[in-house]
Amino acid sequence: MSISARLRCITVDVTGTLIAYKGELGDYYCMAAKSVGLPCPDYKSVHEGFKLAYKDMAKKYPCFGHAAKMPNIVWWKTCVRDSFRRAGYDYDEETFEKVFKRIYSSFGSSAPYTIFPDSQPFLRWVRKKGLTVGIVSNAEYRYKDVILPALGLNQGSEWDFGVFSGLEGVEKPDPRIYELALEKAGNIAPEQVLHIGDSIRKDYMPAKSLGMHALLLDRFKTPDAEEWRKSGAAVVPDLVAAQEWLSSEKFIY
C-alpha cells in the first residue's frame, strides 16, 4: 500500500527538524552592542540571562503574549531587556532601544538560522505524493511571514498550512495545537496524519495521545534517543531516512 493511501497529511515541527540556529546567542547580542559602540557582553552571562528571562516571560505571557494581547515586539523587548539585566548589563533607555532594534531585526530575518539540506526536498516529495503538509511550531508570527519564506520554505510549495503558537494562543505539548492542525488539514481523522518532530515531550507524545502517527528525528545524536527507542518510538537521523521509512514496510498503518 502506498504512502498516499495510508496517510492524508504530514505535520512537521520547525526548529531542530527543518531548521537550526546558526552560531550562538552571544554572537547576535555582541553584534548589536558593537553597532552602537559598546563592547561585547559576556557570552555565557548573556546566554544564562536569556534562558532565565525567556522562561519567565513564557510563564507570565505564554505564546508570546497572545492571551494578554501583548504586541510581539513588546514581548521580545521585555525579554531582551531582562536578559541583559540578569547578565549584569543595565543600559540606559536610548542605548537599549538601539541595541534591541538590531537584535529584534536580526532574529526576524533568516540570518540566525540555517535550513537542513533535506528539508525542502522532503516537503516537496510529500506534497508530490498528494499529501497535505502542515507546520506545527511553538513560534511567533515572523516564522510564518518572514523567516521560513526567507529560508526557502514557502507556503504553497513546501507547506500548505501552519499552526504557530504566537498566532493561535496554544503551544506544544498541549494536544490542542495538534487538534488545530487536524482542523486546518480539513478535519481529517488523527490516524490519517503523521507528525514529525525532535522532542518526545512536545512532538511525539501529544500527537500520539490524539491517535496520530509520530516519528522522531535525532539529528544531533542526543543521548535521549536510546530511551526514545526503548519506549517504542520510531526514531530516524534525518528527513532522508524519514522518506525511506515512509516508503518501506517499517511504516505500519
Mean pLDDT within 24-40:
95
Please tell me whether the overall predicted TM-score, pTM, comes out greater than 0.85 for this model.
yes
Mean pLDDT within 101-115:
96
Q: Is the pLDDT confidence value at 3 over 80?
A: no
Give the pLDDT score at 252: 52
* Amino acid (one-letter) located at 195: H
N-term to C-term CA, the chain:
10
In DSSP terms, which residues pair with 10 in a beta bridge? 133, 194
Give the pLDDT score at 6: 82
Q: Is the pLDDT confidence value at 1 over 70?
A: no
Give the pLDDT score at 253: 45
Per-residue pLDDT tens for 131-174?
999 999 999 999 999 999 999 999 999 999 999 999 999 999 99
Give the pLDDT score at 250: 57
CATH architecture observed for domain 3-21+114-247: 3-Layer(aba) Sandwich (3.40)
Q: Is the pLDDT confidence value at 192 over 80?
A: yes
Q: Is the pLDDT confidence value at 249 over 70?
A: no
At residue 248 the predicted structure's pLDDT band, cuts being 50, 70 and 90, is: confident
Looking from the CA of 112 toward its CB, the CA atoms found within 13 Å total 19
Peptide bond into 117 cis (omega under 30): no
Question: Which residue, 14, 145, 148, 139, is CA-closest to 66?
Answer: 139
Mean pLDDT within 65-87:
97
Per-residue pLDDT tens for 210-225?
999 999 999 999 999 9
Share of the chain above pLDDT 90, in %: 95
* Amino acid (one-letter) located at 135: I
Cell numbers at residue 27, please?
Answer: 554572537
The residue extents of the domains of the chain are: 3-21+114-247, 25-107
Q: Is the pLDDT confidence value at 243 over 60?
A: yes
Give the pLDDT score at 181: 98
CA pair distance 97, 36, nearest whole angstrom: 10
Rg from Cα positions in the chain: 19
* Amino acid (one-letter) located at 151: L
What class does CATH assign to 25-107? mainly alpha
Share of the chain above pLDDT 70, in %: 96
At residue 5 the predicted structure's pLDDT band, cuts being 50, 70 and 90, is: low
